Chain A
Amino acid sequence: MATAIKVDDLPKTEVQAAQRPAPKMSARKVNLWYGQKQALFDVDLDVAKNSVVALIGPSGCGKSTFLRCLNRMNDTIDGCRVEGDIRLDGRDIYDRSVDVVQLRRQVGMVFQKPNPFPKSIYENVAYGPRIHGLAANKAEFDEIVETSLKGAGLWNEVADRLSQPGNSLSGGQQQRLCIARAIAVAPDVILMDEPCSALDPIATAKIEELIDELRQHFTICIVTHNMQQAARVSQKTAFFHLGKLIEFGDTDQIFTNPKQQMTQDYITGRFG
């Protein structure tokens, strides 16, 4: 049933996408296998510059898997095979000439569970610039650390204890530290894999505010289980089900007037 719906619908979204300026990232006919099991089926999706795209869908629908295709984190999984075309600024990121390390500098990632390195707050933020050689001396590192922490809205809380371990912070602070760490290498795109699922509502609200601010400077793709969150932070929403992209459109339209019955059922809580 799901395939029947999709075949009718997809050309339309493709036409819509083609009418806009070139997207920051674009995926065409992405298929992915974990060993013998296919996890993604012909996913087509565009992420426009300086926008937030939310990926929603029930557990196991492939939204995180798709997200991890965008910075090739799936490369680290044995038996994982990706087919199709994923482009960053028009360049195929699965091309042989692409250095995956440089790609991940351009496409940063924030994970579900806050995972600061067991090092100082300063070191957590300075690590990325250090391995990529983005700063020449202490003063430049200091500057990057400060601006990144300010960017993540964490500076005021940690300015006087930069040498303390990163995991001495609270969960929400840790997640903002991870965001600071991600933006410290000046990426183009930030991928967020359910960044608030381990946080309380207040910390979640802070992260959501932050996402809105980050959008001015970065392009963001966020996976979330929380539909209110998707509605609040994103401009575009993609609904995945069983590895297929069921519907992709403006967030307002998806949540008020979904074209697919399945999307309607999901966002109204009929299944999921």
Chain B
Amino acid sequence: MTDLVSNGGRFAAITQRPPRPEAVVAAHTRRRYARERRFKLIGMGAVILAIGLLAILLATVLSSGAGAFRQSYAVLDVRLDPAKIDPSGNRDPEVLADADYQAVLNDALVSAFPDMDDRQGRRALRAMLSAGSAIQLRQMVLDDPALIGSTVPVRFLLDDERDQYLKGEVDPGIPEANRRLKDRDIALIDRLAEQGRIETGFNWTLFTNADSREPEQAGLRAALVGSFWMMLICFFLSVPVGVAAAVYLEEFAPKNRWIDLIEVNVNNLAAVPSIVFGLLGLAIFLNLFGVPRSASLAGGLTLALMTLPVIIVVTRAALRSIPPSIRAAALGIGASPLQVVFHHVLPLALPGILTGTIIGMARALGETAPLLMIGMVAFIANVPSGPLDPATALPVQVFLWSDSPERAFTERMAAAIIVLLGFLIAMNVIAVLLRKKFERTW
């Protein structure tokens, strides 16, 4: 009883406090709501800002890169004169290969523009087509010698500056001296268009060719193949090693100072600037192991080094998110620690691991700096046929093209960015889908 009385006394200070005036409470409530509204507005503002910046980025890239997916061609009737290509008439491939196709091409050009048959005129006509046009003719004849003697319509790549003019990128209004494309060239292109000899189509060259000095012939093939090999090597090296390391550290390793030290270092490694990994790759893979310079193998190994700590950190986080009750349940029924990991913990952590892996791979795909250190910044004009061939990567190709003054290269750079972003978005979508598919609750 005394307890109760004393309790009453203790609570008296609380229960007998005078009520706060209605107005004070209302003002307090109003302030609280206002604060909440302000916070919501700030949050919305932040989201809108982020989306806006993203929209600006995408709009800029898309508007400047979209043009690169279209390419103008000139269609000329080419008479494959046997006298010029194969005077002896015995279709000897060596003779066919050595023939003067530039002369054949010149004839075709002049026959389309008979009034230009002088030295300067011919030069202007030649400049209209891509520098590789004669080689294109040669290849065509070598592929099918039966064409010799006939007149065939052939689609030639238009020179990049003329292509830009047709896309409306060259303003004829600016003084001729400030233009690469002179009035005479513009007039020629306009005449070609009037004759109906200009065709516009999808720019397959962008995906079938490697880099070139001629913008209209430059493509992403070497970069795509290089990036593909690098991703493959990076994935098959960093994922098994990273997941195994994470599983060991998280599930098996004793908790002592050494493991703590390793943990700190792994976390630090994940934050090391990527160019440092490039230097490491240069020192280890190129100088020590003698991996060929600028080969996809060297790039893949270096990117794997860079991705490894990310995968370890992500996998550990995914493993840690699995409730201990699942481990206890499996252990309690007599599963060995290895069975606990492989039957229960790892499958449940898989969505998290996959998401982290794909995001790590996406980061590796977009990485440029370490690749510069191992020579992948080279001009690669041949499509690599394997991981040991010199190659380049998509972001490096972007970097290379961004250096070029030609308008067509600027356009292609933006196109390369679009392709790169396309892959990154695809990878992230896959990450989301995988997460949705495998996600389980408990």
CA distance A113 to B255 in the complex (A): 27
Given the contacts A78-B254, A113-B325, A71 and B332 also touching, CB distance less than 8 Å: yes
A178 is an interface residue with CB less than 8 A from chain B = yes
Contact between B333 and A108 (Cβ–Cβ < 8 Å)?
A: yes
The count of residues in chain B whose C-beta lies closer than 8 Å to any C-beta of chain A is 22
Contact between B332 and A182 (Cβ–Cβ < 8 Å)?
A: yes
Q: Whole-angstrom distance from the CB of B182 to the nearest CB of chain A?
A: 73
B328 is an interface residue with CB less than 8 A from chain A = yes
B residues in contact with A116, CB < 8 Å: 329, 442
B359 is an interface residue with CB less than 8 A from chain A = no
Within 8 A of A (CB), among B386-442: 440-442
Given the contacts A78-B254, A117-B344, A167-B441, A127 and B326 also touching, CB distance less than 8 Å: no
Given the contacts A117-B344, A118-B348, A102 and B334 also touching, CB distance less than 8 Å: yes
Q: Whole-angstrom distance from the CB of A183 to the nearest CB of chain B?
A: 10
CA distance A73 to B333 in the complex (A): 11
A residues in contact with B333, CB < 8 Å: 104-105, 108-109, 127-128, 131, 181-182, 185
A255 is an interface residue with CB less than 8 A from chain B = no
CA distance A117 to B330 in the complex (A): 8
Chain A window 152-184, contacts with chain B (Cβ cutoff 8 Å), 1 for yes, 0 for no: 000000000000000100000000001001100
Within 8 A of A (CB), among B340-389: 343-344, 348
Contact between A108 and B441 (Cβ–Cβ < 8 Å)?
A: no
Q: Whole-angstrom distance from the CB of B250 to the nearest CB of chain A?
A: 13
B residues in contact with A115, CB < 8 Å: 323, 325-326, 328-329, 442
B267 is an interface residue with CB less than 8 A from chain A = no
Given the contacts A101-B335, A104-B331, A111 and B344 also touching, CB distance less than 8 Å: no
A132 is an interface residue with CB less than 8 A from chain B = yes
Closest to B440 in A: A118
A residues in contact with B150, CB < 8 Å: none
A residues in contact with B343, CB < 8 Å: 127, 131
A76 is an interface residue with CB less than 8 A from chain B = yes
B60 is an interface residue with CB less than 8 A from chain A = no
B339 is an interface residue with CB less than 8 A from chain A = yes
Within 8 A of A (CB), among B314-331: 323, 325-331
Contact between A111 and B325 (Cβ–Cβ < 8 Å)?
A: yes
Q: Whole-angstrom distance from the CB of A261 to the nearest CB of chain B?
A: 23
B336 is an interface residue with CB less than 8 A from chain A = yes
Contact between B330 and A73 (Cβ–Cβ < 8 Å)?
A: no
CA distance A98 to B325 in the complex (A): 25
CA distance A115 to B328 in the complex (A): 9
A residues in contact with B323, CB < 8 Å: 115
Within 8 A of B (CB), among A85-108: 101-105, 108
Contact between A73 and B332 (Cβ–Cβ < 8 Å)?
A: yes
Given the contacts A78-B255, A101-B336, A118 and B441 also touching, CB distance less than 8 Å: yes
Binding site for A on B (CB under 8 A): 254-255, 323, 325-336, 339, 343-344, 348, 440-442
Supply 20 further A-B pairs (C-beta < 8 A) apart from A105-B334, A113-B325: A73-B331, A73-B332, A76-B327, A76-B331, A78-B255, A101-B335, A101-B336, A102-B334, A104-B331, A104-B333, A104-B334, A109-B333, A115-B325, A116-B329, A117-B326, A117-B329, A117-B330, A128-B334, A131-B336, A182-B332
Q: 17 interchain pairs (CB within 8 A)?
A: A71-B332, A73-B332, A78-B255, A103-B334, A104-B334, A105-B333, A108-B332, A111-B332, A115-B329, A116-B442, A127-B343, A128-B334, A131-B335, A132-B334, A167-B441, A182-B333, A185-B334
Binding site for B on A (CB under 8 A): 71, 73, 76, 78, 101-105, 108-111, 113, 115-118, 127-128, 131-132, 167, 178, 181-182, 185
